A and B are shown apart, each in its own frame.
Chain A
Amino acid sequence: MDRRSALKLMGAASAAAGLGVMPGVARAADKVTIALIPGLTADGFYVTMHKGAEAAAKAVGAELIYQGGAEWNAALQVPIVDAIIAKKPAAILIAPNDKKQLVQPLKKAFDAGIQVVCVDTFIGTGVFQTGSGDADFPISYVASDNVLGGRMAARALAKAIGEKGKVYVSNTLPNVSTTDQREQGFKDEMKNYKDVEVLETQFNGDDANKAAAQLQAVLGRVPDLAGVFGANLFSAGGTANGVKSAGKAGKIKLAGFDAPESIVSQLKDGTFELTIAQHPAEIGYFGFMAAYAQVTGNPVPTAIGTGFTVMTGANIDDPKVSRYLYKSS
């Protein structure tokens, strides 16, 4: 036997072996393994999402692998995807760090027979299984509708300021899909209130110190500022500090986004008028279930939208509301 045919034979043998453990088509008796790769590990939102996915895994007796990077960076997330592919799970749930840079790495997983579900953030357009484009292969996108979240914040904030006055959006950085959508939803909805003026957005780069100073600077110029929408945790927290330092606590109404446990006391003491809580545990739970349904041969919707809860000082003690707080442990 010459060397070339020996190689061919080996190739055929390994292909056959590969078919035998083909991960995409798990039989009922096999324990299904599904991996969750969060946008970053150091964030209560994803910690809570992990818990939701764990609950789903337990419910169906499947196994969950959880592995992610410490910061939001596609260059860090790609090697993690590669490492997870090597473990050959049946499916990967991922919050991609970049719409474009994660397409090829995830395509590699798909080509290896691993199903892909996007949670929270997406690749390509976020519209999957349409048969067009190169980022169409994920089976489903499970997330909050952030435009709707922004709209809910606008409605609640407008009510809190008596439907008139000047407001602005404190945001992290431009071109982040989720926070951009919140800002867009907020601004669109505010157009329905003709006595509310939305000022220029302030970007703080997730620096609470800067968000605080920006609030004070805007207030210096606009003494009749009525309210602020903090589009993520650092924006909202920093702005709250700026309001407190300016001695305007309770007078300038703050709408926050997201719900760490620390928000409870801040809602009660009036630092925040309201906050829009996403349901990350639901995202984790339904994301996991979508992947599980797919690998066990059941149909899956290509998009699953999860809800929001408006939290205020008045309703936060209600267990139906407080169960949506993001848990650290």
Chain B
Amino acid sequence: MAISPTDVSPGVRLLMRIAELRAWLFLIVLIVFFEVWAEIGFHSTFIFSTYNLQSITVFATAPLLLALGQTFVIISAGIDLSLGFVMGLASVLAAHVCNYAGETLGLPPFLAMLCGMAAGVVITFIPGLVNGWLIARLRVPPFIGTLGMYGVARGAAYLFAGGMTIAVNNDWYSAVGNGRVFGVPVLVILTGVACLILHYMLSETRFGQHTYAMGASQPAARRAGINIGNLTMKIYFLSAIMSGVSGVLYTGRFTAGAPQAGEPLLLDSIAAVVIGGASLFGGSGNIGGTIAGALVIAVIQYGLVFIDVEPFWQFIAVGAVIIISVLVDQTQRRFLGGRQVE
């Protein structure tokens, strides 16, 4: 919970503020680094190019959508390992239903697309509810419960897909995944809206505040009258739905449903949340940080290709940023004597 200004000296407050904003600082440092390299190396610009900006932001959307839901889970001191394949499941189902609605039922493309999108999101209710039920009611640790769901969702996605990627022929759907409005990619706009909604939910609603309370201390939250079971159900439900949104948009972008769509994104989503300032011990983190975290990963991976560095440096660079980020978090905790910062 927030520390009131009278608790600490101005110097400490400043340090806390910097620690909170570390993801944005990382981002600025990286951008300056790539900009300087581009200017000196090949007389070009990195960040003052709408083309680069569009490319990087679109690149960041899929892992960011997963990371938004994961932020709630991690703040509540949980973890959701299932969301990569829940995303794949949604992607495959959206492709199938869109094709079925368009080709077999003969619906116009726009309606077929909506059917596909709705089906992709609705199917994630099942893994979301089961995750919540396992963790809240049966007291399965989140790591194990969602790991089990990782396998189940993966198998289901491959079964639905018959081991293939499912091609989608729908111009509307393709336009959602690849179109632009006033030069801004539709994917970026939709992800931006999702960020605003989840930011509001986390910072302004009782649900958000209870999530922080639960992550900071579950027994204390329970004694304060918070229904931990219901809250846990809601958090994992939200995480699954965000995976569904990510999967549904993936299908539009690549005009294909792929069961393994989210597999490489799971760890990126956790990394984005952690770089963004959340603690895996729960109780801290915010949506703004997660956005910065996702952008940090996207900028590193894009920038190193842009300046033509040996590709394997990407892994090292992302890993180093995660480690530094966690070290900052630990130092801050020691400094504040275990008190929590939102």
Chain A residues within 8 Å of B, Cβ to Cβ: 41-44, 46-47, 70, 200-203, 205-210, 212-214, 216-218, 220-221, 233, 237-238, 241-242, 244-246, 260-262, 265, 326, 328-329
Contact of A44 among B52, B62, B164, B260 (CB under 8 A): B164
Q: Which residues of A contact B258 (CB under 8 A)?
A: 208
Contact of B59 among A44, A213, A246 (CB under 8 A): A213
Task: Determine if B51 and A209 form an interchain contact, defined as CB atoms under 8 angstroms apart.
Answer: no
Task: Determine if B55 and A241 form an interchain contact, defined as CB atoms under 8 angstroms apart.
Answer: no
Q: Please measure, in the bound complex, the distance between the C-alpha atom of A205 and the C-alpha atom of B260, giving whole angstroms.
A: 12
Q: Any chain A CB within 8 A of the CB of B100?
A: no
Q: Any chain A CB within 8 A of the CB of B305?
A: yes
Q: Which residues of B contact A212 (CB under 8 A)?
A: 58-59
Which of B155-163, B217-225, B272-280, B285-293 has 4 or more CB atoms under 8 Å from chain A? B155-163
9 contacts between A and B (CB under 8 A): A42-B260, A44-B164, A200-B310, A206-B264, A207-B264, A213-B301, A216-B302, A260-B167, A262-B255
Which 4 A-B pairs give the minimum distances between C-beta atoms?
A: A262-B167, A217-B305, A216-B55, A213-B59
Max count, chain A CB within 10 A of own CB: residue among B56, B59, B154, B155: B59
Contact of A245 with B265 at beta-carbon distance under 8 Å, contacts A203-B311, A218-B305, A328-B162 already known: no
Q: Which residues of A contact B33 (CB under 8 A)?
A: none
Shortest CB-to-CB span from B45 to chain A, Å, is 9
Contacting A at CB under 8 A, from B133-171, are 154-155, 158, 161-167, 169
Q: Any chain A CB within 8 A of the CB of B259?
A: yes
Contact of B169 among A42, A213, A265, A329 (CB under 8 A): A265
Q: Which residues of B contact A245 (CB under 8 A)?
A: 54-55, 58, 178, 185
Shortest CB-to-CB span from A41 to chain B, Å, is 6
- A interface, by DSSP: helix, strand, loop or mixed? helix
Max count, chain B CB within 10 A of own CB: residue among A221, A237, A238, A261: A221
Q: Which residues of B contact A43 (CB under 8 A)?
A: 163-164
Closest to B180 in A: A245
Q: Please measure, in the bound complex, the distance between the C-alpha atom of A210 and the C-alpha atom of B254, giving whole angstroms.
A: 12
Q: Please measure, in the bound complex, the distance between the C-alpha atom of A235 and the C-alpha atom of B164, giving whole angstroms.
A: 15
Task: Determine if B167 and A261 form an interchain contact, defined as CB atoms under 8 angstroms apart.
Answer: yes
Q: Please measure, in the bound complex, the distance between the C-alpha atom of A202 and the C-alpha atom of B178, giving whole angstroms.
A: 23
Q: Which residues of B contact A206 (CB under 8 A)?
A: 260, 264
Q: Any chain A CB within 8 A of the CB of B230?
A: no
Shortest CB-to-CB span from A286 to chain B, Å, is 22
Q: Which residues of B contact A237 (CB under 8 A)?
A: 165, 254, 256
Q: Any chain A CB within 8 A of the CB of B253?
A: yes
Contact of A42 among B163, B261, B303, B311 (CB under 8 A): B163
Q: Which residues of B contact A216 (CB under 8 A)?
A: 51-52, 55, 59, 302
Q: Which residues of B contact A262 (CB under 8 A)?
A: 165-167, 255-256
Q: When A and B form their complex, what is the total count of cross-chain residue pairs whose Cβ atoms lie within 8 Å?
A: 113
Contacting A at CB under 8 A, from B239-288, are 250, 253-256, 258-261, 264-265
Contact of A47 among B63, B162, B185 (CB under 8 A): B162
Q: Please measure, in the bound complex, the distance between the C-alpha atom of A46 and the C-alpha atom of B158, giving whole angstroms.
A: 14
Q: Any chain A CB within 8 A of the CB of B298?
A: yes
Q: Any chain A CB within 8 A of the CB of B7?
A: no
Q: Please measure, in the bound complex, the distance between the C-alpha atom of A202 and the C-alpha atom of B308, giving whole angstroms.
A: 10
Q: Which residues of B contact A265 (CB under 8 A)?
A: 167, 169
Contact of A221 among B42, B161, B162, B163 (CB under 8 A): B42
Task: Determine if B44 and A233 form an interchain contact, defined as CB atoms under 8 angstroms apart.
Answer: no
Contact of A246 among B51, B264, B308 (CB under 8 A): B51
> Per-position contact with A for B299-335: 1 when CB-CB < 8 Å, else 0?
0011101111011100000000000000000000000
Shortest CB-to-CB span from A176 to chain B, Å, is 15
User: How many residues on the B side are at the interface (Cβ–Cβ under 8 A)?
Assistant: 47
Contact of B164 among A205, A208, A220, A328 (CB under 8 A): A328
Q: Any chain A CB within 8 A of the CB of B49?
A: yes
Q: Please measure, in the bound complex, the distance between the C-alpha atom of A44 and the C-alpha atom of B158, giving whole angstroms.
A: 11
Q: Please measure, in the bound complex, the distance between the C-alpha atom of A218 and the C-alpha atom of B166, giving whole angstroms.
A: 28
Q: Please measure, in the bound complex, the distance between the C-alpha atom of A213 and the C-alpha atom of B303, giving whole angstroms.
A: 10
Task: Determine if B54 and A44 form an interchain contact, defined as CB atoms under 8 angstroms apart.
Answer: no
Q: Please measure, in the bound complex, the distance between the C-alpha atom of A210 and the C-alpha atom of B264, giving whole angstroms.
A: 10
Q: Please measure, in the bound complex, the distance between the C-alpha atom of A234 and the C-alpha atom of B47, giving whole angstroms.
A: 28
Task: Determine if B55 and A209 form an interchain contact, defined as CB atoms under 8 angstroms apart.
Answer: no
* Given A70-B158, A245-B178, 14 further pairs, Cβ under 8 A: A42-B259, A203-B312, A209-B264, A212-B59, A213-B305, A217-B55, A217-B305, A220-B51, A237-B256, A245-B54, A245-B55, A262-B167, A328-B163, A329-B162
Q: Please measure, in the bound complex, the distance between the C-alpha atom of A260 and the C-alpha atom of B95, giving whole angstroms.
A: 16
Closest to B312 in A: A203
Contact of B265 among A209, A214, A218, A238 (CB under 8 A): A209
Task: Determine if A205 and B264 form an interchain contact, defined as CB atoms under 8 angstroms apart.
Answer: yes
Q: Which residues of B contact A326 (CB under 8 A)?
A: 164
Max count, chain B CB within 10 A of own CB: residue among A43, A46, A201: A43
Shortest CB-to-CB span from B109 to chain A, Å, is 14
Closest to B307 in A: A221
Shortest CB-to-CB span from B256 to chain A, Å, is 6
Closest to A205 in B: B264
Closest to B58 in A: A245
Q: Please measure, in the bound complex, the distance between the C-alpha atom of A44 and the C-alpha atom of B51, giving whole angstroms.
A: 35
Task: Determine if B178 and A233 form an interchain contact, defined as CB atoms under 8 angstroms apart.
Answer: no
Max count, chain A CB within 10 A of own CB: residue among B58, B169, B261: B58
Q: Which residues of A contact B51 (CB under 8 A)?
A: 216, 220, 246
Closest to B158 in A: A42
Q: Please measure, in the bound complex, the distance between the C-alpha atom of A316 and the C-alpha atom of B302, giving whole angstroms.
A: 35
Shortest CB-to-CB span from B229 to chain A, Å, is 33
Q: Please measure, in the bound complex, the distance between the C-alpha atom of A104 and the C-alpha atom of B189, giving whole angstroms.
A: 54
Closest to A265 in B: B169
Task: Determine if B298 and A213 form an interchain contact, defined as CB atoms under 8 angstroms apart.
Answer: yes
Task: Determine if A202 and B42 form an interchain contact, defined as CB atoms under 8 angstroms apart.
Answer: no
Q: Please measure, in the bound complex, the distance between the C-alpha atom of A329 and the C-alpha atom of B166, giving whole angstroms.
A: 12
Q: Which residues of B contact A47 (CB under 8 A)?
A: 162-164
Q: Please measure, in the bound complex, the distance between the C-alpha atom of A216 and the C-alpha atom of B42, giving whole angstroms.
A: 17
Q: Which residues of A contact B255 (CB under 8 A)?
A: 262
